[in-house]
Structure formats: structure tokens, C-alpha cells
Amino acid sequence: MIRLHHAHQTRSMRSLWLLHELGLDFELVIRPLDKTLRQEPYRSLNPTGRVPTLEIDGHVLTESGAIAEYLCERFPQAGLGRDPGHVERAAWLNWIHFAETISQHSAALTQQHIVIYADHMRSAVVMQLEAKRLAKTLATVEEALQGDYLLSDFSAADIGVGQAVYMAQHFVRLDPFPKLRIWFDRITARDAFAKSVPEAPALYAKPFYPPWEVLP
């Protein structure tokens, strides 16, 4: 049995995308981004009250990077992972976890733009700083891209980083990163990506949230 607890347009989207790419049968539980994540029965699965949570083979995994590693090792026939002896193993692992480096800045900006409702509680300084830090992570991807994918062919690394860029594009324009833009368009044209995107915006109501230039 495989069950994914997921909230739209969050980090759990990378786990959902990977499950679709692997072609697995699984149960999808859609969780609202509200206080029920911190209440029973979900709290017993994930005490931090976040998503994703993956139930598989009697185990519970709550970190998207760990989920990617586990699924790719559990289902190697899809070729989305890199085994320990593979020449691309180190790079694959680094990209799997670099996705979280990108996402931490998107999460901070999501907090500022969306979660905090009162304007006086928002910080223009934080918004500008986090947007610059986020852009720097995208520049890292831009510099690393040498072909169609992050590695020699499509892998879970593209899924993890691609989902992180999907979130990041709400706060940083992709135009200054032409190689990243082409790569992102390529991987998001895949059917499995389309299956992981909600029909209507769930978290990000606007396509882009510019940082404030001055404090209100």
C-alpha cells in the first residue's frame, strides 16, 4: 500500500510528481493547509504538521528528499534514481537535496506574501533579501545546466529541482535564466507534471508576487 498525504502547490507536489512518473498505484489524500495538519489523526503520522507524508511498506516518511531516495531505490526499473555505484550518484543526491535549498527561500516569501495577512506585519527587507537569495539558487541551476536535463537524462533530480522552481517562479522572474527557462519548460511539459498540478490555484492566487520596494 502506498498513500501520499499532499497539499496543493507545496513541497509534497514533488513527491506526487515522482509517484506519477514511476507509474505506481497509490492513494492520494488531499490535506488542507489549516490547523487540521496539527491535529489527530494526521499528527500521529507527522508530528510537525506538514506535508508530504508518505505511507509505504509499513513505513512513514515525511521528508521529500528521503521520499525521493526511497522510491527510486524501491522502484529502480523506472531509471529515475542513481544507484551507489553510478558515476552520477553524487550529483544526483546533491540535486535531490538542493531542491530544499531553493524551497526554503520560496517558503519564506510565501509566508511574507500569503500567510501573513496584515500589511504592517510584513517586511520589505525580508522580501527583498529572500528574493535575492532565491535568485542566487536559480543562478546555480542555470550555471550547472549543460544539456536537456540536470544529469545525462531525466531523473528524480529534475523533478525535485523542477518543483522547487515551480514555486520559485512566483517570486523571481525566470527570464534572466535562459537555460533554466528552456529546461523548466521541457520538464513541465511531461504528463506526470500536469497530473501533479491542481486545476485551479490553491496556494498561489497570483502568478507573481513582486517584493515591496519600500515599507508601507
Provide the residue-wise pLDDT of the chain in tens; the chain has 216 residues.
999 999 999 999 999 999 999 999 999 999 999 999 999 999 999 999 999 999 999 999 999 999 999 999 999 999 999 999 999 999 999 999 999 999 999 999 999 999 998 888 999 999 999 999 999 999 999 999 999 999 999 999 999 999 999 999 999 999 999 999 999 999 999 999 999 999 888 899 999 999 875 444
Kindly report the number of other CB atoms within 10 A of residue 138's CB atom: 24
Sheet arrangement for strand 27-30 = 27-30, 2-6, 53-56, 59-61
- Structural domains for the chain: 89-190 (1.20.1050.10)
Q: Is the pTM of the predicted complex or chain greater than 0.75?
A: yes
Kindly report the number of other CB atoms within 10 A of residue 24's CB atom: 15
What is the Cα–Cα distance from 126 to 39, expressed in whole angstroms?
A: 30
What is the Cα–Cα distance from 189 to 61, expressed in whole angstroms?
A: 28
